Amino acid sequence: MKKLVFILLLFVFTGTLLAEDGSQLWLRLSGGKNADVSCNLNNATTEIAIKELKEHWYGNTPVQLVFSKAKELTRLGEGSFVIRRSSGSDPVRIEASTKQGLLYGAYHLLRLQQMGQAEGEMDVVETPRYQLRVLNHWDNLDRSVERGYAGKSLWEWESLPGKISPRYEAYARANASIGINGTVVNNVNASPQILSASYLEKVKVLADIFRPYGIKTYLSINFSTPAELGGLSTSDPTDKAVQRWWKDKVKEIYQLIPDFGGFLVKANSEGLPGPQDFGRTHADGANMLADALKPYKGIVMWRAFVYNPGDEDRANQAYQEFMPFDGQFRDNVIIQVKNGPVDFQPREPFSPLFGAMKKTPVMAEFQITQEYLGFSNHMAYLAPMWKECLDSDTYQQGKGSTVAKVTDGSIYNQKITAIAGVTNIGTDINWCGHHLAQANWYAFGRLAWNYKLTSEAIAREWINQTFGSTTNNPTNTAGSFSSFRDALTEMLLESREAVVEYMMPLGLHHLFAWGHHYGPEPWCDIPGARPDWMPSYYHKADSKGIGFDRSSTGSNAAAQYHSPLSEEFGNLSTCPENLILWFHHVPWDYKMKNGKTLWEELCYTYDRGVQKARSFQKIWDQQEKTIDTERFLEIQNKLKIQMRDAVWWKDACLLYFQEFSGMPIPVDIERPVHNLDVMKKFRLDIGNHENALEKDLFMK
């Protein structure tokens, strides 16, 4: 009997030890040795730094946190830090001129420890490339999350301000560990209610929790709030009463949240109200809010995501609308621009607004949540996609004017520099729906801090911390951790391109189904619906060819880019092939650089994407012994769904486009397994897509 109890207890105990539900993210730091940590500054932020190091630093030497206004440190700027140790037996010194810098230094030291790089001599100097590194939550007040695939909103509005979820602090800690220092807690499709007194009380509680972690709170606002919530007869930004209303509201906010960051605004976009409703401009609207925020050092992040149905190419519209206002915005306004000119598609060229606005600060908005990349079902590691944008040369100030450099203040004298990511976080136990999607939250933070880091280096860091042992030795007992890390790194690095290939290769975009952005529906045609929301608006397939002519014979979007890009994109023979159908309507029998026809290339590329998805499964299946069973199985299951979807995408797109090309699918690629007529009838119950997929796609 005793023996049985013992075995049972052992089972329970090891079971608990091995339980890995992903909730600890990359912070699976285990209890340390109560390290010797000292600090010459005492406040809530340094207390956190001390606690983290005390609990998780395994090194045998003490750690000294040193707040100092030494020239070298102040020159580095807010959030920067140095970590120094002359030899392995000396104490580690983390020095910074701000409390945030000390906190970031502490997390960085722990990261180095997890990477096995915190031994011996150390000389690390770290400084963030962007001042503001901000998450955007598209979270609604009813706790639904627009384009969220990881459960409900973290913010329990119904029980705030009274009840405080432990997840608020866990969220702040995770963000601080990767340098994120701002969060916009509500959806850009904003409810006026967020500015009501009762909601502001709730927001204050969140802000108080985030503050010690160096995170400022921002809000998305609805431009009609003065009328809708304030009862005014208008929300016209030139109206004195409206201006007064915003000034009073801002004052009320700062009384509750003294370090409030400011407003994020989606205006005159997708049906939302804005200054144009009153015959005013984006500059009028942004400046009115900027004036209200100015006395408190608050800022306005004004989005450039605007487009209307009509004759003008959607890709051209943001540039046309915003360029005339360059230089007319107040100095506490920054224009927030999506990475591409259309909308977070698997591959887009960078937005031509980057670098073109020379007298107005511009910031990039990336999408961490995978609205157009398979939701939380597909593995798509997005660091390569974001770097592709950041590393793109705009040529606006000569060669080397990359998107990164025209937004980080190194080329233009921007007073504010910032970068934003639309989060993939929700109430799911593993935060992001897919264990591997945590890598995107992590990568966003790390790139916002230093976009020079390689996608591979970030992946390796993330894997070590997320799957490695919790002590300073990053090896697991079962199997070989380093071969696991190599295998997963390879999968992650290939994953985004695989998604592009099986969904929308060669510059195709927006082939998504009506009602959701998950599956393919290139044939979609809803009578009476907005034409610019239909796939055919983007692919323009006909018997001659496929693709959107954005050259001088078409919408001329290529001309919005600076030379030599305008010529390069605008000319079929020089346009990069991975964007060829973005910029050109290309004949089916057009000869690609490798000698294949466009049609053949399309077929082979879709097939390659499918093969990659299959290879991910094969690689993953070999990892069973290396990591915990829970995460192994959950990821295995996701990879299965991804594989099925990849085949679905390939079959749907190739069979549909074949109706136009009239050409055979090359004999050496996999034959379609679905029938086009049947696929056209698929309906996805988006609330429960996994089951719907089983039911609709595979049981029929």
How far apart are CB 309 and ligand GCW at their closest, in Å?
15
Contact with ligand GCW (CB under 6 A): which of 26, 67, 104, 138?
A: 138
CB 660 within 8 A of CB 542: yes
Kindly state the smallest distance separating residue 351's Cβ from ligand GCW, in Å: 13
User: Measured from the CB atom, is 318 or 463 closer to ligand GCW?
Assistant: 318
Nearer to ligand GCW, 80 or 187 (CB): 187
Count other Cβ atoms within 10 Å, centred on residue 7.
Answer: 10
CB of 147 to ligand GCW, least distance (A): 5
Q: Which of 130, 263, 344, 656 binds ligand GCW (CB under 6 A)?
A: 344
Q: Say if residues 310 and 343 touch (Cβ distance below 8 Å).
A: no
**Minimum CB separation from ligand GCW for residue 189, in Å?**
5
Helix (H) and strand (E) counts for the chain?
22, 15
Shortest distance, CB of residue 303 to ligand GCW, whole angstroms? Answer: 7
Asked if 238 interacts with ligand GCW (CB under 6 A), we say: no
Show the binding pattern over residues 92-131: x = contacts ligand GCW (CB under 6 A), - = does not: ----------------------------------------
Cis amide linkage into residue 161, ω under 30° from 0: yes
Binding residues for ligand GCW restricted to 567-586, rule: CB under 6 A? none
* Residues 45, 540: Cα–Cα separation, whole Å: 55
Lookup result for tokens 């015959």: 279
Q: Which residues share a beta bridge with 81?
A: 126
Q: Show the binding pattern over residues 265-284: x = contacts ligand GCW (CB under 6 A), - = does not.
A: -x---x--------------
Q: State the CB neighbour count (10 A cutoff) for residue 393.
A: 18
Name which of residues 32 to 71 contact ligand GCW (CB under 6 A). Answer: none
Question: Taking the CA atoms of the chain, what radius of gyration do you get in angstroms?
Answer: 26
What's the burial of 403, exposed, middle or buried (CB within 10 Å: 0-12/13-18/19+)? buried
Comparing every residue's Cβ against ligand GCW, the nearest one is 343
Distance CA 219, CA 250 (A): 11
Query: Is the Cβ of residue 370 or residue 401 nearer to ligand GCW in the bound state?
Result: 370
Beta bridge partners of 512: 520
Whole-number Å distance between alpha carbons of 29 and 242: 51
- Least spacing, CB of residue 517 vs ligand GCW, in Å: 7
CA of 159: how far to CAs of 170, 220, 637, in Å? 18, 21, 35
C-alpha distances in Å from residue 37, one per residue of 45, 49, 73, 95: 15, 9, 21, 13
List the beta bridge partners of residue 57: none
CB of residue 365 to ligand GCW, shortest distance in Å: 8
Q: Closest by alpha carbon to 604, among 658, 657, 646, 667?
A: 667
Helix (H, G, I), strand (E, B) or coil at 660: helix
- Please give the biggest Cα pair distance in the chain: 85
Q: Figure out which of the listed residues 188, 257, 288, 337 binds ligand GCW, where binding follows CB under 6 A.
A: 188
| Structure tokens, 271 | 């049906």
**Rounded Cα distance, 234 and 317, in Å:** 27
3-state SS assignment for residue 316: helix
Applying the rule CB under 6 A, the residues between 139 and 158 that interact with ligand GCW are: 146-147
Q: Between residues 65 and 363, which has the closer beta carbon with respect to ligand GCW?
A: 363
Number of residues that bind ligand GCW (CB under 6 A): 10
Comparing CB distances to ligand GCW, the nearer of 343 and 497 is 343
How many other C-beta atoms lie within 10 A of the C-beta of residue 683?
Answer: 11
Q: What residues does 94 pair with on adjacent strands?
A: 65, 83
Cα separation, 456 vs 660, in Å, equals: 40
Per CB under 6 A, the list member of 343, 501, 521, 696 interacting with ligand GCW is 343
Q: How far is the CB of 590 from ligand GCW (least distance, A)?
A: 31
Between 20 and 343, name the residue whose CB sits nearer to ligand GCW: 343
**Taking CB under 6 A as the rule, does residue 538 contact ligand GCW?**
no
Q: How many CB atoms lie within 10 A of CB 654?
A: 20
Cα 265 from Cα 289, distance rounded (Å)? 10
Q: Smaller CB distance to ligand GCW: residue 303 or 638?
A: 303
State how far the Cα of 654 lies from the Cα of 511, in Å rounded to an integer: 12
Residues 249-278 as b or e (16 or more Cβ within 10 Å = b): bbeebbeebeebbbbbbbbbbeebbbbbbb
Alpha helices (H) along 477-518: 481-503
57 or 350, CB closer to ligand GCW? 350
The answer to whether the CB of 487 falls within 8 A of the CB of 48 is no
Residues with catalytic annotation?
A: 270, 343, 371
Could you tell me the smallest distance in angstroms from the CB atom of residue 270 to ligand GCW?
A: 6
Q: Which is nearer to ligand GCW, 420 or 459 (CB)?
A: 420
One residue of 67, 305, 350, 467 binding ligand GCW per CB under 6 A: 305
Residue 315 corresponds to which tokens in the numbers above? 């890709």
Closer by beta carbon to ligand GCW, 59 or else 346: 346
Q: Quick one: 216 exposed, middle or buried, by C-beta within 10 A (0-12, 13-18, 19+)?
A: buried
Residue 189 near ligand GCW by CB under 6 A: yes
Q: Which is closer to ligand GCW, CB of 191 or CB of 605?
A: 191
Cα 9 to Cα 3, 21, 30, 118, 367: the distances in Å are 10, 21, 21, 37, 45
The smaller minimum CB distance to ligand GCW, of residues 345 and 560, is found at 345
Residues found near ligand GCW in the complex (CB under 6 A): 138, 146-147, 188-189, 266, 270, 305, 343-344
